Amino acid sequence: MKVDLHPKYQEAEIRCACGNIIKTRSTRNTMLLGICNICHPFYTGTQKFVDTAGRVDKFQQRMAKTAAAQAAAAATKKKKK
């Protein structure tokens, strides 16, 4: 058998953004999660709105620009007729 073929299996810590810490064993020392079973809406029964980097606002701004451009294109098309 080859020596040192497998990675070291050691005690590990899984940390969630909510502050929950889970102790387990893994080949990595620490793992960072955005959401775990303690704070996940499916398990808690509460809805939590997570908006990272304003993605919803950016999407709404893009949709407003698209709607304005479509309205302007429709207006110029009606003037041509």
Of the CATH numbers 3.30.450.20, 3.40.50.620, 3.20.20.70, 4.10.80.400, which one belongs to the domain with range 10-76? Answer: 4.10.80.400
* pTM of this prediction exceeds 0.85: no
Tens digits of residue pLDDT in 10-62? 999 999 988 899 999 999 999 998 888 888 877 777 776 666 667 778 888 99
Spatial separation of the C-alpha atoms in residues 36 and 29, rounded to whole Å: 18
> In the chain, where are the structural domains located?
10-76
Spatial separation of the C-alpha atoms in residues 53 and 70, rounded to whole Å: 27
